[in-house]
């Protein structure tokens, strides 16, 4: 299977750099798979699953935040606000963040605060879902 060069970069770290067979990312309209020689494009990402199939066929699972993917000339750049492996997720902290965000949603908010609260809920739910999926696979 052909490979392409991939860079996955978060605000605080470089998560992955190197060749890969395919990557699966979460866009606003669902999961999108990208393989070698994909059409050039830019895709907006939302919080959710990120899976990388390395050159040797192994999968790296992660949860990623909002960002974008740039695809051009058999090279893919993923830039997100956060990315972490499921085994790095603190379930208690993620659940507390979800509870706080749900409580904030019940309060009177400005439009900006409402959007921020929705983003916090999406992030916490994505982290918990990734952690639960990881536990099922293991």
pLDDT (tens digit, 9 = 90+) per residue, 81-122? 999 987 777 778 877 877 888 888 788 778 888 888 888 778
Q: How far apart are CA 59 and CA 71, in angstroms?
A: 20
Which CATH superfamily hosts domain 4-84? F0F1 ATP synthase delta/epsilon subunit, N-terminal (2.60.15.10)
- Backbone φ and ψ of 69, nearest 5°: -120, 135
The predicted-structure confidence for 1-22, as pLDDT tens digits, reads as follows 899 999 999 999 999 999 999 9
Residue 31 pLDDT level (bands cut at 50, 70, 90)? very high
CATH number of 87-137: 1.20.5
Instruction: Say if residue 136's pLDDT is above 60.
Output: no
* pTM (two decimals): 0.76
The b-or-e profile of 20-49 (16+ CB within 10 A means b, else e) is: bbbbbbbeeeeeeebeeebeeeebebbbbb
pLDDT at 135: 59
pLDDT at 103: 83
- Domain positions in the chain are 4-84, 87-137
Residue 10 parent element (H or E) = strand 4-10
In degrees to the nearest 10, what's the CA dihedral of 134, 15, 33, 90? 30
3-class secondary structure, 119 = helix
Instruction: Say if residue 132's pLDDT is above 80.
Output: no
Q: Which residue has the tokens 């994909």?
A: 38
């Amino acid at each position: 299977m052909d490979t392409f060069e991939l860079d996955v970069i978060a605000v605080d770290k470089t998560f992955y750099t190197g060749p890969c067979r395919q990557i699966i990312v979460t866009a606003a309209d669902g999961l999108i798979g990208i393989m070698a020689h994909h059409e050039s494009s830019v895709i907006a990402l939302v919080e959710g699953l990120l899976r990388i199939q390395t050159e040797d066929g192994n999968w790296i699972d992660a949860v990623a935040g909002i960002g974008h993917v740039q695809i051009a000339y058999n090279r893919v750049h993923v830039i997100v606000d956060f990315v972490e492996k499921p085994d790095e997720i603190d379930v208690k902290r993620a659940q507390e963040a979800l509870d706080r965000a749900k409580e904030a949603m019940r309060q009177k908010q400005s439009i900006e605060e409402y959007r921020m609260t929705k983003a916090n809920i999406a992030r916490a739910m994505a982290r918990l879902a990734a952690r639960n999926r990881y536990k099922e696979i293991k």
